[in-house]
Amino acid sequence: MNYYELKFTYESPIEATIISDVLASELGEIGFESFTEDEDGLLAYVSDQLYNVKALQDKLNEFPLENVTIRYTEQLVVSKDWNEEWEKNYFKPIRIGNDCIIRASFHEPEPGYTYNIIIDPKMAFGTGNHETTYLMISEMLKLDLEGKDLLDMGCGTAVLAILAKMKHANKVVGIDIDEWAYNNALENTRLNHTEDIQIALGGAEQIPAFGTFDIVFANINRNILLNDINRYAACMKPGATLFMSGFYTEDIPAIQAECERNGLKFISHAEKNNWVAVKTQKP
């Protein structure tokens, strides 16, 4: 699969990082999968099969921040070049406290971390660079997963599923709708010797095939979460916990209301640069 790389630049009195966060959220709704901020703006990636110029123009014309002029250039990136691009330019080791490090196979090992996860990312979202993945990893590090059954919904690189296995979870399932992410997840489970993780290609309709869960992680985006919370609730055992991320602080009321409509109790939330991870529980 080939991808388009779009480079967005701005003219605005608003801080560029704020614009980039909002833009990434908007682009995620029309098929863009991966984002990297640079000094000038935002690099965004979308598969050539999903790239829709009209949908992009509509998003830019209806951009929710005022006094922002956005320009972009595009180029086609063939898949065989992606790992090299990451190695040269983007993916650096990510350290979460003293407990966890996420690195690529081309990085030198660093001793002293409880969990040393190897991720060779392709175009999939979820290396820990983004705030939402960082938040979800931070939440998982707090949990006792010994013997628990866990679902990683929208698994991307499978970093959460791999960490869950390293923390001695029992059944671990990762599901992603993107074929590229699915293949990358399989590759990363092999790299980390966690091949007993079950990886499936598809959306939330795949969940019932894997039974029920003690813990569900869903790091996707606001609209998909709102649509699928009922499916998450249906697969949760009594007393199970659901963590969700991929949205902003201002989206919490809508997420909380949908959780409560499906019998889930809102417990808490964590924030990083206006991105949020929420914790809910089934009675």
* pLDDT greater than 60 at residue 128: no
Q: Given CA atoms 249, 255, 260, 264 in this order, what sign does their dihedral have? A: negative
Do the Cβ atoms of 65 and 84 come closer than 8 Å? no
What average pLDDT does this structure show over 165-194? 93
Please, which pLDDT band fits residue 57 given cuts at 50, 70 and 90?
very high
Whole-number Å distance between alpha carbons of 146 and 155: 20
How many other C-beta atoms lie within 10 A of the C-beta of residue 271?
13
Task: Catalogue the E-assigned strands of the chain.
Answer: 3-11, 34-37, 41-47, 69-77, 94-96, 100-103, 115-118, 150-153, 172-176, 198-201, 213-219, 236-248, 265-272, 275-281
> Residues 198-224: pLDDT tens digits?
999 999 999 999 999 999 999 988 889
Local confidence band at 124 (pLDDT 50, 70, 90 cut-offs): very low
Six token digits for residue 222: 């606001």
Question: Contact, 105 vs 120, CB < 8 A?
Answer: yes
Q: Which of 239, 262, 268 is nearest to 148 (CA)?
A: 239
| Contact between residue 185 and residue 157 where contact means Cβ atoms under 8 Å apart | yes
Q: How many CA atoms lie within 13 A of 82 on its CB side?
A: 21
| pLDDT for the residue 170 | 98
Kindly give, in sequence order, each residue whose CB lies less than 8 Å from that of residue 223, ignoring residues fewer than 6 positions away. 29
Structure tokens at 61: 């014309």
Contact criterion met (CB below 8 Å) for 174 and 158? yes
Q: Across the strands, what pairs with 242?
A: 216, 280
Rounded to whole angstroms, the Cα distance separating 187 from 204 reads 22
Would the annotation count 154 as a binding residue?
yes
Biggest alpha carbon distance in the chain? 52
φ, ψ at 42 (rounded to 5°) = -140, 135
Per-residue pLDDT of 241-278, as tens digits, reads: 999 998 889 999 999 999 999 999 999 999 988 889 99
Alpha-carbon distance 82 to 231, whole Å?
Answer: 34
Average pLDDT, the chain: 90
* Amino acid code (one letter) for 239: G
Residue 176 annotated as part of some ligand binding site: yes
Reported as type and span, the H/E element at residue 233 is: helix 222-235
17 marked ligand binding residue: no
Rounded CA-CA distance 77/177 in Å is 21
Which pLDDT score is estimated for 98? Answer: 87
